[in-house]
Amino acid sequence: MKTAEEYVESLRKLNLVVYMFGEKVDNVVDHPIIRPSMNAVAKTYELAGRPEFEDIMTVTSHRTGKKVNRFTHIHQSVDDLVKKTKMGRMLGSQTGCCFQRCVGMDAMNALSMTTFDMDAKLGTEYNQRFLKFLDYVQAEDLTCDGAMTDPKGDRGLPPHQQKDPDLFLRIVEDREDGIVVRGAKAHQTGAVNSHEVIVMPTISMREADKDYAVSFAVPADAEGISYIMGRQSCDLRKMEGGNMDQGNLFFGGHEALVIFDDVFVPRERIFMCREYEFAGQLVEQFASYHRQSYACKAGVGDVLIGATQTVAEYNGAAKASHVKDKIIEMNHLNETLYCGSIACASEGHKEPSGTYLVNTLLANVCKQNVTRFPYDIARLAQDVAGGLMVTLPSEKDFLSPTIGKWMEKYYKGNETISTENRMRILRLIENLTLGTAAVGYLTESMHGAGSPQAQRIMISRQVNMKEKQRVAKKLCGIKEESDEK
């Protein structure tokens, strides 16, 4: 397995084409806006090498019998699913942000099942191709970007009816040795911190959309791939020097629009090629895994709750009964998020491929809670923190020889706590609820792994309503025609 240092050096060897603020980024690894997100991924490598985290961060590969990073593993038991949840929460609490490797892990697990089922029905060889790719990922301990979300264009139209056919990624050319694809993938978390890009369709497909039913893996620096970095609130603070105004000094996240401008995909790297009837299965299995993955929000919630308790003490308000009650509510909501992820993992089952899949109903319930509770937790954190969280002057004012004395004097809280430390914890809460980390904690909680409505649709499909009605009618004496017969 790679060390954190080896991971960083492996990224330096990539020839990525990255744009930010309209200009090409020459040094992606050390760019002050990108580097904190890379540090978060590096943490997944660092902790895997530490004995105290070995059980949760590493696992024995069912392919080679060697120890591998859990992010490259295909789940072989319910215990694997449960440890995935525990790993997500632990890393969220260690970094206070998105650590970016979940999507690739979830994509590989979904592909391990869908490719197996495709081969069984169609006589294709996609599963063997995928397993060969998996062996490579495990051997090199790679970070993979799972690329599912297309720009979509007019949401009321299927892919083949879009005015611009490239608004969903598609096959534009067939060659004897592979295919050529064109399009884009949006909202790609950690894209420029990845070694490989695993592409999947974003919705169920019909025959008219078969050119869009495609899944494959290509190197992150493959010819024709460009990355356009997304903006985040307060992102320029990382370029201002100092560290007091950043909130989280070490870690962060990023999203990018990934352009596929006629990218060639070798035949051995293709995992789906126009088998439109399996697109929906791949999307749903991936989504179920990824909705489980939002245990990470409980980890980030741990950080926010800790910050809220700290600022209450720094403000001199920690003993107030209403403040205590609000922090209890934050913990209740946060543990409920964790319960959902643990539950869908514990109720997991073995698929024909041998891969273990979470309980998909409970995974959708888990993610539905995630679309709501982090917002309530953030609201309570802001309530306890007070308005100073958003009206603080800058670090440069605090350090100014002219006005710094007034900062020190008028922003003092609890007499036993330094003004600087009070400012630092307020900036962390700002970062988690309004700044760069809020993308990974709040907006990602809402839209990541599908919109809230997507989970509600899945819940309605998978709940056995007829059985609920049957037992209710039986208990109150309502007889059905089938009962009388």
Q: Which of 143, 189, 310, 360 is catalytic?
A: 189
Q: Which of 46, 255, 284, 395 is catalytic?
A: 255
C-alpha–C-alpha distance, residues 148 and 209, integer Å? 16
Q: Which of 313, 395, 430, 444 is catalytic?
A: 444
The CB-side HSE value for 222 (13 A sphere, CA atoms) comes to 23
**Cα separations (Å) of 355 from 89, 113, 303, 352?**
22, 7, 33, 7
Q: Catalytic: 338? A: no
> What is the average per-residue pLDDT within 345-367?
98
Condensed to tens digits (0 to 9), the pLDDT of residues 381-422 reads 999 999 999 999 999 999 999 999 999 999 999 999 999 999
Tell me what percent of the residues of the chain surpass a pLDDT of 70.
99
**In this predicted structure, what is the pLDDT of residue 481?**
73
User: Which residue reads 């008028």 in tokens?
Assistant: 410
Q: Catalytic: 189? A: yes
Tell me what percent of the residues of the chain surpass a pLDDT of 90.
95
- DSSP, res 442: I
Number of other residues whose CB lies within 10 A of the CB of residue 241: 10
> Does residue 478 register a pLDDT over 90?
yes
> What is the average per-residue pLDDT within 190-211?
97
> What is the average per-residue pLDDT within 125-138?
98
Q: Catalytic: 255? A: yes
**In this predicted structure, what is the pLDDT of residue 483?**
63
**In this predicted structure, what is the pLDDT of residue 60?**
98
* In contact, 367 and 459? CB cutoff 8 Å: no
Question: Average pLDDT of the chain?
Answer: 96
**In this predicted structure, what is the pLDDT of residue 485?**
53
Q: Which of 97, 102, 144, 344 is catalytic?
A: 102
Condensed to tens digits (0 to 9), the pLDDT of residues 464-475 reads 999 999 999 999
Q: How confident is the model at residue 476 (pLDDT cuts 50, 70, 90)?
A: very high
**Residue of 385, 251, 289 whose CA lies nearest to 330:** 385
**In this predicted structure, what is the pLDDT of residue 84?**
98
> What is the average per-residue pLDDT within 23-42?
97
Q: Which of 294, 338, 356, 441 is catalytic?
A: 294
Q: How confident is the model at residue 480 (pLDDT cuts 50, 70, 90)?
A: confident
Domains and CATH numbers, the chain: 4-279 (2.40.110.10), 292-470 (1.20.140.10)
C-alpha–C-alpha distance, residues 134 and 132, integer Å? 5
**In this predicted structure, what is the pLDDT of residue 437?**
87
Q: Catalytic: 23? A: no
Q: Which of 73, 75, 187, 290 is catalytic?
A: 290
Condensed to tens digits (0 to 9), the pLDDT of residues 416-464 reads 999 999 999 999 999 999 998 889 899 999 999 888 999 999 999 999 9
Q: Catalytic: 444? A: yes
**In this predicted structure, what is the pLDDT of residue 464?**
96
**In this predicted structure, what is the pLDDT of residue 484?**
58
C-alpha–C-alpha distance, residues 179 and 113, integer Å? 23
* In contact, 340 and 365? CB cutoff 8 Å: yes
* In contact, 434 and 390? CB cutoff 8 Å: yes
Q: Catalytic: 296? A: yes
Give the largest Cα separation in the chain, rounded: 91
* Structure token digits, residue 185: 């993938």
Condensed to tens digits (0 to 9), the pLDDT of residues 236-266 reads 999 998 899 999 999 999 999 999 999 999 9
Q: Catalytic: 102? A: yes
C-alpha–C-alpha distance, residues 377 and 372, integer Å? 9
Q: Which of 58, 75, 85, 98 is catalytic?
A: 98
* Angle at which helices 102-122 and 126-140 cross, to 10°: 150
**Does pTM top 0.85 for this prediction?**
yes
Strands 349-350 and 270-273: unpaired
Number of other residues whose CB lies within 10 A of the CB of residue 160: 16
> What are the residue ranges of helices labelled H in 220-278?
none
